[in-house]
Amino acid sequence: MEFEDVIKTRRSIRRYKKKEIPEDILKKILEGARLAPSGNNRQPWYFIVVRDEAKKRKIAEYSYNQTFIADADCIIVCCGKKYPNPYEPLKDNCYIVDVTIAIDHLILTARNYGIGSCWIGAFYPDPIKKLLGIPGDIDVLMIVPLGYPEGGFSEASYRKDINEIIFKEEFNKKFL
């Protein structure tokens, strides 16, 4: 698939077919995340693949009862470990950016293989950490259900005009 098509048709999928993602495809999706860049090559990420039905239901419950999450073939629980960073402006929060980049690689790789995903940022981390045995110094940062979309893919909905978000030389000076 052409990369531009991957970007244009990556959508938040909330309805999944009851179809298993083959292990080789799942490994390629996770490899996409593994290859992401990170500050000072720290690679502060951890990904937990959850396919157990009871655990998926619990994760959906802990995600403000977003039940569609449990309908996905698997849930990727995306975690990160804080590391010391003296530089402004993010300081010790750089790990959040690093993990976010890896998640973006994960979802774009998934789309390339026809797998849908959805960024889930609304959840209670502590019960998920307990459910999955995640150590105390590791943060749950995002949850990503993966599965074949029930309705397929389409181009992204409304996006702002380029001149609303990109400027030339200084703020509010039109780019184009």
Domains contained in the chain, number: 1
The DSSP element (H or E) to which 142 belongs, if any, is: strand 138-147
CA distance 91 to 84: 7
Position 130 in a domain: yes
Q: Which amino acid is present at 50?
A: V
Residue 173 lies in a domain: no
Residue 174 is assigned to a structural domain of this protein = no
With bands split at pLDDT 50, 70 and 90, how would you rate the model's confidence at 175? confident
Residue 81 forms part of a structural domain? yes
**CATH code of the domain in which 111 resides:** 3.40.109.10
pLDDT bucket at 152, cuts 50 / 70 / 90: confident
Over 90: is that where the pLDDT of 29 sits?
yes
**80 is a domain residue:** yes
Residue 32 domain-assigned? yes
Inter-CA distances, 5 with 1, 81, 103, 152, Å = 7, 33, 19, 14
**pLDDT digit string, tens, across residues 61-78:** 999 999 999 999 999 999
Tokens 């990170």 belong to: 38
Nearest partner of 121 among 74, 77, 56, judged by Cα:
77
Q: What is the pTM (predicted TM-score) of this model?
A: 0.94
Give the residue with greater pLDDT, 72 vs 158. 72
**Domain of residue 102, residue span:** 3-165
Please answer whether residues 56 and 146 qualify as being in contact, where contact means their C-beta atoms are separated by less than 8 angstroms: no
Is the per-residue pLDDT at 101 higher than 90? yes
CB 142 within 8 A of CB 80: no
Strand pairing report for 45-50 and 116-117: unpaired
27 falls within a domain: yes
Averaged pLDDT for residues 89-102 = 96
| pLDDT at position 155 over 80 | no
